[in-house]
Amino acid sequence: MLDYTSNDAITPGGPPGTIRDNESHYVYVGADYALTTQLNATAKAGVQYTTYDSLSGSEVAPYFDLVGSYTYLPGSYVQLGLRHTRNATDIAGASSTDIVKDQESTSVYASVNHRFTREISASLLAQYQYGVFSGGSFDGLADNFLMLGINVNYRFSPNFAVEAGYNFDRLDSDLSNRSFYT
């Protein structure tokens, strides 16, 4: 269930954010497989059926989530994944009657987590997401989103740690004045 909590208008003079409330049901088959003690895989594939509380229509979309991980040293591993699902979006629409329902997105992601010592670890993360808007005049337009990050963690004790990192984000969008990078 996705319930928006704001009663603020999502477009000038438009309906409240709660108009995009929806409920999704997933039907899928999945498997977890340990190829070795170091190499594991998880796969889920099926469909996602989404109904909207206030908007007309419903959506049926493919759903899958594939993840593989390899532990190369104790506390150090590489993970790769591919996921396709419907998700919320910050784009509301162009007018009070032009409502974007959500996005259908495919993401590819990878991470490397390395433990140097018991106290010091680092991670390198990368994710690319291709999302297509559903509904309204933006229907079928897409976002291309890239996220890269590097983090270093120092653990003082089991309950206290400090972390420093850098993240790079880039969005290339079919919508005007939306693209950015940081």
| 147 or 5, which is more confident | 147
pTM of the model: 0.89
Residues contacting residue 130 through CB under 8 Å, at least 6 positions apart: 105, 106, 107, 142, 143, 144, 145
Q: Chain-wide mean pLDDT for the chain? A: 94
pLDDT band at 78 (very low <50, low <70, confident <90, very high): very high
pLDDT the model gives residue 144: 98
Phi, psi dihedrals of residue 40, rounded to the nearest 5°: -130, 150
140-170 pLDDT, tens per residue?
999 999 999 999 999 999 999 999 999 999 9
Specify the residue for token string 């889920």: 44
Length of the chain: 182
* Residue % of the chain over a pLDDT of 90: 81
CA dist 33 and 51 (Å) reads: 33
Contact 47, 29 (CB under 8 A): no
Q: What is the CA radius of gyration of the chain?
A: 20
